[in-house]
A = this chain, B = another copy of it.
Amino acid sequence: MTNLLDTLRATVGPAHVLAEGDLTAWEQDWRRRARGKALAVVRPGSTAEVAAVVRACAQAGTSIVPQGGNTGLSVGSTPDASGTQVVLSLARLNAVRAIDKDNLTLTVEAGCILQNVQAAAAQAGLLFPLSLAAEGSCTIGGNLGTNAGGTQVVRYGNARELCLGLEVVTPQGEVWHGLKGLRKDNTGYDLRDLFIGSEGTLGVITAATLKLFPQPAASLTAWAAVPSMEAAVRLLGLAHQHLGAGLTGFEVMGRFALSLVAKHMPQLRVPFMEREDVPYCVLLENADSESEAHARARFEALLETAFEDGCVQDAVVAESLAQAHGLWHIRESIPLAQAEEGLNIKHDISVPISRIPAFCEYTDALLAREIPGVRLVNFGHLGDGNLHYNVQTPEGSDARAFLRDQETHVNHLVYEAVARFGGAFSAEHGVGGLKVAELEKYQPPVALGMMRAIKQALDPQGIMNPGRVLRR
């Protein structure tokens, strides 16, 4: 191994091979679910250096764990405990390589922080719409590696849909230059989408060409109280009809989730919490290519129809950008409020939108029956059929003991319910090391077989992020 470390030092410079001292930032995952031990953290400064690092590791038979901002929620970017894996940090590959306004594309390196990608687009008067809670520290390489989702998927799609091309270092240390930035390119198999969402198990994404969009002339936010999840789904249908592609966000939040925000962030005023007949609220965003006045008129027409329909009990439209930010801030504070309330069990599930009401009714009742006193923090991206259907420990219980005794059981109940309603146990967070068993259980054998064959074909040595997504 000394040999490998020497080669790596010669490749990227001794300052960029970290093998001693406190490596917690690279060895521990974001949610502190797992703490690994790296042979070294290597920080190459160019694609050529990434390729050389991969070649050296391949030669030594040493595993590689690619890492961006290390903000993943499924333990996919930290090393295992063996002390034999190299963490390959893309943090220094953070250049904006090119912006092409006429082609509506932006080419960035994998280590670019998402917020900087957004800013580079905005500076050119354009929009890169991927937006999620960790945007201040996650990287675009990680976003693509995990096919990140977020709050604007209802209009713009996941990270996958926002990417036109990739540059990738293969497990053999070769560079695939696939950054053409074409909107139509049918010249062979779709390698791009194979790497997107493969969580570093098939190669290392080093750069990407991304789709940009015109910036909307105005963006308006509304907050609606709805009498049921069925009503929320009906409101979504009306919003699609009325706003068309203007509908850029559609979030649902359960009453208990919002009550935690009201409790732990008393400075935030959560609309309609005083009304006891409001089980869910919905946050809608309407981006308009014309004007704020037009956006407001469209929102008013939508809400009028929704009131008549009965799917909305009450609603406010933000009068200013500050008010809009305030409403989004409430939505985004749910995870923090949940953490303040204590330990909890998180899920990131999706089911067909049409089946969400039945799924919630069924699973709410199931959990209440199986785990007396359970509290559900149900919120998420209803426009995409994606719920963070989280389970808070019963009030006053020993949270640590509850998690120890019940987490596997709770996961089982939720994932079985998800499967029953035709859904997926991971919607936007990926599989990582955390959900490998779920993948084996819920993907049919024929799909698993194809995934394993692809892994074997592209990474026969099995050195790329082994044990993630697929068992090694």
Q: Which chain A residues in 425-452 approach chain B with CB under 8 Å?
A: 425-431, 435, 438-439, 442-444, 446-448, 450-451
Q: How far is the CA of A224 from the CA of B120 in the complex (A)?
A: 33
Q: Which chain A residues in 171-228 approach chain B with CB under 8 Å?
A: 174-178, 180-191, 193-194, 196-198, 202, 213-214, 216
> B245, A442: Cβ atoms under 8 Å?
no
CB distance from A130 to the nearest CB of B (A): 13
Say how many copies of this protein the assembly contains.
Answer: 2
Q: How far is the CA of A438 from the CA of B185 in the complex (A)?
A: 13
Residues of B contacting A185 in the complex (Cβ-Cβ under 8 angstroms): 350, 424, 426-427
Please classify how large the interface on chain A is, using the bins under 10, 10 to 19, 20 to 34, 35 or more: 35 or more
Residues of B contacting A429 in the complex (Cβ-Cβ under 8 angstroms): 186
Q: A101 near B: Cβ within 8 Å?
A: yes
Q: A63 near B: Cβ within 8 Å?
A: no
Q: How far is the CA of A257 from the CA of B174 in the complex (A)?
A: 44
Residues of B contacting A161 in the complex (Cβ-Cβ under 8 angstroms): 157, 161
9-residue interface stretch from A25-33, A360-368, A378-386, A392-400: A378-386
Knowing A237-B101, A245-B245, A290-B298, say if A443 contacts B188 (CB, 8 Å).
Answer: yes
Q: A67 near B: Cβ within 8 Å?
A: no
Nearest B residue to A432 via CB reads: B186
> A184, B352: Cβ atoms under 8 Å?
no
> B187, A158: Cβ atoms under 8 Å?
no
Q: A351 near B: Cβ within 8 Å?
A: yes
Residues of B contacting A290 in the complex (Cβ-Cβ under 8 angstroms): 298
Residues of B contacting A105 in the complex (Cβ-Cβ under 8 angstroms): 352
Q: How far is the CA of A322 from the CA of B265 in the complex (A)?
A: 59
> B194, A214: Cβ atoms under 8 Å?
no
CB distance from A396 to the nearest CB of B (A): 35
Mark A327-340 against chain B: 1 for CB-CB distance below 8 A, else 0. 00000000000000
Contact of A351 among B182, B193, B244, B458 (CB under 8 A): B182
Contact of A244 among B187, B198, B289, B439 (CB under 8 A): B289
> B450, A458: Cβ atoms under 8 Å?
yes
Q: A233 near B: Cβ within 8 Å?
A: yes
Q: A346 near B: Cβ within 8 Å?
A: no
CB distance from A94 to the nearest CB of B (A): 23
Contact of A385 among B184, B193, B423, B431 (CB under 8 A): B184
Residues of B contacting A241 in the complex (Cβ-Cβ under 8 angstroms): 214, 289
> A191, B101: Cβ atoms under 8 Å?
no
Residues of B contacting A422 in the complex (Cβ-Cβ under 8 angstroms): 180-181
Q: A375 near B: Cβ within 8 Å?
A: no
> A184, B198: Cβ atoms under 8 Å?
no
> A184, B424: Cβ atoms under 8 Å?
yes
Residues of B contacting A287 in the complex (Cβ-Cβ under 8 angstroms): 244
> A424, B147: Cβ atoms under 8 Å?
no
Mark A399-425 against chain B: 1 for CB-CB distance below 8 A, else 0. 000000000000000000000001111
Knowing A193-B190, A193-B194, A457-B454, say if A353 contacts B103 (CB, 8 Å).
Answer: yes
| Residues on A facing B (Cβ under 8 Å) | 100-105, 146-147, 149, 153-155, 157-158, 160-161, 170, 174-178, 180-191, 193-194, 196-198, 202, 213-214, 216, 233, 236-237, 240-246, 287-290, 298, 350-355, 381, 384-386, 422-431, 435, 438-439, 442-444, 446-448, 450-451, 453-458, 469-470
Known pairs A183-B384, A189-B194, A245-B245 / 12 extra A-B pairs, C-beta < 8 Å:
A103-B353, A103-B385, A149-B184, A154-B183, A180-B352, A180-B422, A184-B385, A185-B424, A194-B454, A244-B288, A246-B289, A289-B298
